[in-house]
Amino acid sequence: MVRYQAATAQWELAVTDTDSTTAQVTTVTDDQVLPSADGSGQHLAVVFDSFTHQVRLYVDGQLTSTAVGMDHTRWPSSAGLQVGRSAQDGGSEYFAGALDEIRVYDGVVDPIGIARMSQLTEDTDL
């Protein structure tokens, strides 16, 4: 789960060890890029790499935090992708902002691809 903490003005990446309501949660915090207040928005990317057992959070094309998880060939999800809300605590956490575009890729996108996606100009090769 990616969430914004208004109290600290930081993005957080929360990763669970299982797909259940009692899962252990590991939280890592973006400590490099502060959210912009200019209204242009920010580009967030989350990459799950089953080879390295890492989940990486990129903000505006820059790697900001990494969580190391268990050895899973595939992410152990038993439900669909949730965008704009968390399924934790009965789905009580909602994103209080606007989402412009959502992309989901099968496979790991490298840092160069993430940097290209974060640009404000069109890139037809993505």
Higher pLDDT, 97 or 119: 119
Q: 10 is written with which tokens?
A: 């930081």
What confidence tier does 1 reach under pLDDT thresholds 50, 70, 90? confident
44 - beta bridge partners?
A: 59
pLDDT tens-digit map of 66-115? 877 665 555 556 667 777 776 666 666 777 777 788 888 888 899 999 99
User: What is the C-alpha separation between 23 and 117, in angstroms, rounded?
Assistant: 32
Instruction: Give the least confident one: 41-50, 56-65, 91-100.
Output: 91-100
Predicted confidence at residue 102, as pLDDT, reads 82
In whole angstroms, how far apart are CA 10 and each of 42, 59, 65, 107?
A: 12, 11, 11, 27
Higher pLDDT, 57 or 81: 57
Give me the sign of the Cα torsion angle 119, 104, 25, 85. Answer: positive
Q: Count Cβ atoms below 10 Å from residue 16 Cβ, excluding itself.
A: 19
